[in-house]
Amino acid sequence: MDIEDPGGRMGICVRCVVTLMIGPPIGREAEMNEIVKSQQSITIRLDRYPVAVYIASLGSENSREGVKWALDLAAAVLSSGTCDAFTLDWSQLRYQHIAALKSKLISEDPTPRRSQPYSLSTTNLVLSTVKGVMKHCKKLKLTTPEDLNDIMEEKAVRGQALPSGRALTPQEVRALFNACGDGISGIRDRAVLAILLGAGLRRSELSALDRRDWHESDLLIVVRRGKGRKAREVPVGKRVESILSGWLEIRGDEPGALITSVRSGMLARMMRLGDTGIYFVLERRSKDAGIPKVSPHDCRRTYITNLLLNGADLAIAAKLAGHASVETTAIYDRRGIDSMREAAEGLMLPI
């Protein structure tokens, strides 16, 4: 489809050349409550439109969806709700606009439909994505280096909010596994939990795993498509191996997706379990277990926290989690006051 501005307000008319796949999932499987993603094709000229260039340059579908959401929010705030990411004329953006955007996002009424400020992390994400678009505006000769420099000098919002999400307790982990049952869906879901909690993979990384990526002889999971296109090897324990072996007895040993969909209690061998399907596996199993809702990232927080509790240093935990910086890994640390008290009691004063 074409994207046009019939009234000429933004001065752009975008024609079909390249297709980007974006859009939210819209369907749900009856048996597993797993979402089947239905993508909307939006066609635009990459040689003229900076948002398209920016989104196309990102390495994963999750990154593209997140950036598109952030740019839609920025465009809505900048245009008082009349434009989205693909209809705002980003070439007209100047320093005063991004300064006003930052101020509006942290105000009490950032949009007509929201009556509370956006979080620091959301605000800084929006500012970062806008700067990314403006870098591409400069490369496409749609803005000047001077204007870009002014925009890039706008600093992120400073402060520290309470950490989001949580790490699961050992009792909650046991309840999740026990809630899976012994059917095909349950054995598959146990494998999902084992990888998320025992290897700390992101859900996109789990979904992308193939049979060749599980090396049972070495107890290694090979992540070939990590965030930022970075590959890594993740060692796992014997318990993870046992659970994956049980799943492979059902799945078989042929090439293809390691974790597949299950429909009406039957294995869908050629259908990879997608990101959203993994999310709904956790939603269903946490409900069955009678515990608060668990997200894939809660499993990742649990994995990193357990690494640190078992004596791994931040550098090792960062490598296992696929983080470029130990500062990122530290955000996932959910060791509580008891761990801090234990560390404090271990200090020896030379007196």
Give me the catalytic one of 166, 297, 319, 335.
Answer: 297
Give me the catalytic one of 64, 301, 323, 334.
Answer: 323
Q: Is 95 a catalytic residue?
A: no
Q: Is 230 a catalytic residue?
A: no
- Phi, psi angle pair for 323, to nearest 5°: -95, 140
Rounded to whole angstroms, the Cα distance separating 197 from 297 reads: 10
In eight-state DSSP terms, residue 264 is T
Q: Is 28 a catalytic residue?
A: no
Q: How far is CA 140 from CA 41, 51, 52, 122, 180, in A?
A: 24, 11, 12, 27, 52
Q: How far is CA 253 from CA 85, 143, 265, 308, 325, in A?
A: 44, 54, 20, 34, 36
Report whether 102 contacts 47 (CB < 8 A): no
Q: Is 202 a catalytic residue?
A: yes
Q: Which residues pair with 27 in a beta bridge?
A: 36
Give me the catalytic one of 102, 300, 301, 334.
Answer: 300
Give me the catalytic one of 54, 118, 279, 332.
Answer: 332
Contacts of 246 (CB under 8 A, 6+ apart): 187, 190, 191
Rounded to whole angstroms, the Cα distance separating 314 from 299 reads: 18
Give me the catalytic one of 202, 203, 301, 334.
Answer: 202
Q: Is 297 a catalytic residue?
A: yes
Give me the catalytic one of 114, 211, 227, 319.
Answer: 227
Q: Is 54 a catalytic residue?
A: no
Report whether 61 contacts 46 (CB < 8 A): no
Q: Catalytic residue positions?
A: 202, 227, 297, 300, 323, 332
